[in-house]
Structure 1
Amino acid sequence: MKAFSAMFHFDTPSTFEPGLLAQALQQATAAGSALDAAAWPQGLSAGDVLGVHQARAHRWGDTDRAPLYWKSGGPGRSQPLAHAPLPPQGVHGAGAYLGSTAFLMRGVEAEIALRIACDVDAAAAAHLDEDAAALVDAMAVSIEIVDSRWQQQLQAPEALKAADLLCHGALVLGGWQPYHPRNWAEQRCSVQIGNQPQVVRQGSHSLQDPAWLLPEWLRHATRHFGTVQAGTVVTTGSWCGLLQATKGEAIRVHFDGVGEAVVQL
């Protein structure tokens, strides 16, 4: 899931220990198991959620730099965006077979991923505006598999879903092509999941332009994680909402003029 309705505040005092939840989520991911949300604090602050994300990133090796893979997005330009780093071991090329992955859910989101062309530090990110798109050198079709480490799945508290890397399961990236601005209002996207009816959307991105989120995401990433390196990838929000797949189904996402990505569950 790309964003949540809950409004968090980074200055909320808390005795919560983010590392403990990060460890539990990591272990649940590795084991393909689920945690009981009732056993954890229900009202984490944004600082708590950020602490879990930072601890997770440290566990997969990003200790002095921003992670190389991210998800970002939101329900609209007037509402808060949400951001989460993604574990590199869960990123796959198009055509990947994920049938042996122990997903508890198999939600599907069709997205556009953007790749940053140069290093961006906090000082540079602080001054970005519409010109942030100039930092992008390539784009690709991406498929996010939405999953949960909570027994309650999408009924878990908003903050716990946010701590769970915004309900991230896996990311599949299609082939890269040079980035250039497009008429996103006319962009057509189609999603085929197994033998289900094809889903077709046009101009359906919640932010109207996937690159619109770049300034806020880059400020978040550089402020809390370190310099964003050249080659960093951010996926930018679903064009099709949240669709549902089952084990064994193949997924094909196509964006006219951009490309496609395919994954087998």
Structure 2
Amino acid sequence: MGKFPNLAGYDMTESHMPAQALYRARKEGARIPSALLQSADRSAAYAIQDATLAAIGPIGGWKVGAARTGAEPTCAPLPAQCLLPDGVAFSGPAWRLRGIEAEVAFLLGADLPPRPAAYSVQEVAAAIVAVMPVIEVVETRLSDWFDAPPPALLADLLSHGALVMGPRQPFDPAWLDLRKTEAVLHFNDQVVAHTVGGHPCPDIGALLAWLANHCMRRNGGLKRGQVLTTGSCTGMLFASQGMRVNADIAGLAPLSLSF
């Protein structure tokens, strides 16, 4: 991780002190109370995200999702150093929550820079070159994660810990609709989730178009090479220390991780 900017003599914005607390908690494997984030709304939470990423390092991708069809999506940038290969093993004090979500992700092959007009689903689809299965490992820097208010969870990169990426395959626009997508999660040899159409907002094209338009106003647009993950097909389940996790999304290669 890079050094957090020197704040001595700096006219601090409301986002810098909460971001500093999150950065240190992430670096040290510690936990902080959500009250330290002072994130009263989504705008403040997104500012904290940006300040945190300025300390951690480059953006490798984005996560986007919505609680249900028609709800306003939320998103978070993903540190490049947290994008990890299939089969990775996690250890150490940072991995305490160990939330597991099986997701469908996309690789951008072209930039989507700022412009006056909004991006359409078709334009975003034209910029995608690959689809892949991923497992998001949900982790928190908050000591009161179960009771934390939504803006605090949003400020903490939507509880992102890591994104384990499976093999890529050429993009087919059919992947922008997950209403019939089958997904299976195994913890060791036990099936802990088996869903068909389990994504809460299966219109993935709409989520990605929202993300492209959000980012062109906020971060200079989405970039070629970034990975965009789109929310859980299985819900969130919690793995124990010593478990092996396997995910299988129909039509994509299986992938795994272990703790």
TM-score by length of 2: 0.88
- Structure 1: stretches of 5+ with no match in the other structure: 1-14
Alpha-carbon distance in 2 for matches of 1:60, 1:258: 31
Q: SS of 1:114's equivalent?
A: strand
- With over 3 angstroms needed to count, the CA separation of the structure-2 counterparts of 1:154 and 1:125, relative to structure 1, is farther
Matched, 1:47 2:43: yes
> 1:61, CA displacement in angstroms?
3.3
Matched, 1:28 2:22: no
Q: SS of 1:228's equivalent?
A: coil
- Structure 2: stretches of 5+ with no match in the other structure: 1-11
Letter in 2 for 1:61: G
Maintained 8 Å contact 2:46/2:154: no
Query: Counterparts in 2 of 1:175-254, with a 5 A limit?
Result: 175-182=167-174, 184-254=178-248
- With over 3 angstroms needed to count, the CA separation of the structure-2 counterparts of 1:199 and 1:61, relative to structure 1, is closer
Maintained 8 Å contact 2:57/2:79: no
Alpha-carbon distance in 1 for matches of 2:71, 2:146: 20
Alpha-carbon distance in 2 for matches of 1:27, 1:118: 34
Q: Residue 88 of structure 1 is aligned with which of 80, 83, 108?
A: 80
- With over 3 angstroms needed to count, the CA separation of the structure-2 counterparts of 1:129 and 1:257, relative to structure 1, is closer
Alpha-carbon distance in 1 for matches of 2:121, 2:222: 17
Maintained 8 Å contact 2:63/2:76: yes
Greater alpha carbon shift after TM alignment, 181-190 vs 165-174: 181-190
Q: SS of 1:96's equivalent?
A: coil
Maintained 8 Å contact 2:105/2:230: yes
Matched, 1:172 2:169: no
Letter in 2 for 1:23: Q
Corresponding position of 1:113: 105
Matched, 1:128 2:120: yes
| Runs of 4+ more than 4 Å apart | none
Q: Sequence identity of aligned pairs in percent?
A: 29
TM-score by length of 1: 0.86
Corresponding position of 1:6: none
Maintained 8 Å contact 1:154/1:161: no
Letter in 2 for 1:112: V
Alpha-carbon distance in 2 for matches of 1:101, 1:86: 20
- With over 3 angstroms needed to count, the CA separation of the structure-2 counterparts of 1:56 and 1:39, relative to structure 1, is closer
> 1:39, CA displacement in angstroms?
4.2
Q: Residue 55 of structure 2 is aligned with which of 59, 66, 79?
A: 59
> 1:122, CA displacement in angstroms?
1.4
Count of residues in Structure 1 that have an aligned counterpart in Structure 2? 246
Maintained 8 Å contact 1:109/1:144: yes
Alignment deviations for residues 59-94 of structure 1 (CA, whole Å, 9 cap, x no partner): 1334xxxx3311101112210100000111111010
- With over 3 angstroms needed to count, the CA separation of the structure-2 counterparts of 1:124 and 1:201, relative to structure 1, is farther
Alpha-carbon distance in 1 for matches of 2:188, 2:82: 22
Alpha-carbon distance in 2 for matches of 1:222, 1:234: 15
Alpha-carbon distance in 2 for matches of 1:70, 1:40: 21
Letter in 1 for 2:111: D
Alpha-carbon distance in 1 for matches of 2:78, 2:239: 21
> 1:40, CA displacement in angstroms?
4.4
